[in-house]
Structure 1
């Protein structure tokens, strides 16, 4: 009897997670006007969760595009989003960059250092995510990729010396609450709110980010020496 009850109670959990993913995907479309598309998902196999792509060594399990034509899947239609997640309720939520926003990608340690600096400077921030692989994504206006190398040089840094890059056209980011295998879920360090609907330009955040990435690079050189 106890076994029957346990199975009955556990069964709804996948659906609950699917409902949660669908709800978030629809909200991104309706409230932020972001395009979204469904990615891969996690499947249980021999007590482990594997990526639906069937690659046992997948570097982004359950959090990458499921099809090569993913860019054409991305949609701003809530109706289409509902159809997509009804077909695969546990699909990851992916957001194409280079459309309504780009993302400045830095390490988690540099990102939190930069956030503290930005707050002291009273800078206007857009949404910011933290990923389970210890990266942070700062959402900025599109077009950041073309600007970053020159802006970094003006600040006195060689672009290749900093762990900082822009994700723009032809790329994507995973949105909360997408899970990255057993490593955990993508989370908001700064949630989307009405107050940050208008995104900053990359140039407004770059000084603080470059400073934090430079500090991290210097610390890494000191450790090696």
Structure 2
């Protein structure tokens, strides 16, 4: 069953129900061939949801790596993924960037503006995630993190003037149905499908994204 998230103007985002973290993690490994690793999880304490890391001031409760060696823990083996989530079914689903994809991260308002512009331009998109912190994350081919600053400069912007960042090697993202504390769950604005298995290059998306971020300042 699907429910449309209210308050979106440029896109109708269906919310998936009934998919467990284990099922989703295995699907990402099997269907997308993404490396996956389990993060922290939420625990009930004194009537509130706290991060399993134990830090009451955790910046991303239930949605960050649980181990320092998370990069080596990440795997594309569905069997290994299933085993990890069977040990801790509540663990968040985290994906390392810089391997099979990089991510371009922008504010939600700029992201929706860019999505509308990309639709008019008939651009082919990869998956796009929407975080509870009101950020939108566009999945692109690896290597974007190194190229994005120069691409932004070519368009006449200073990279530091735009709220636009690229996540590559050494970084990670949380994906649905991971929850971030009481803020809510990560959603797919454009969910992974067979049609968007081939990711766009950053060069295709940076012009509309930079334009939208410039408008959003």
**1:211 corresponds to:** 211
Unaligned runs of 5+ in 1: 1-15, 218-225
Mapped partners of 1:87, 1:33: distance in 2 = 22
**1:69 corresponds to:** 69
1:132 aligns with 2:132: yes
Mapped partners of 1:61, 1:168: distance in 2 = 22
1:111 aligns with 2:111: yes
Deviation at 1:87, TM superposition (A): 0.7
Q: How does 1:14-163 map to 2 (within 5 A)?
A: 20-163=20-163
Deviation at 1:103, TM superposition (A): 0.3
User: Whose radius of gyration is greater, 1 or 2?
Assistant: 1
Mapped partners of 2:102, 2:187: distance in 1 = 18
Mapped partners of 1:209, 1:62: distance in 2 = 29
**1:171 corresponds to:** 171
Runs of 4+ in 1 over 6 A off after TM superposition: none
Deviation at 1:127, TM superposition (A): 0.1
Please state which structure has a larger fraction of its residues in helix.
1
TM norm structure 2? 0.91
Q: Say which SS state the counterpart of residue 216 (structure 2) adopts.
A: helix
Deviation at 1:128, TM superposition (A): 0.1
Deviation at 1:26, TM superposition (A): 0.4
TM norm structure 1? 0.88
Mapped partners of 2:150, 2:90: distance in 1 = 41
- RMSD (Å) for aligned C-alpha atoms: 1.1
Unaligned runs of 5+ in 2: 1-16
Q: Say which SS state the counterpart of residue 49 (structure 2) adopts.
A: strand
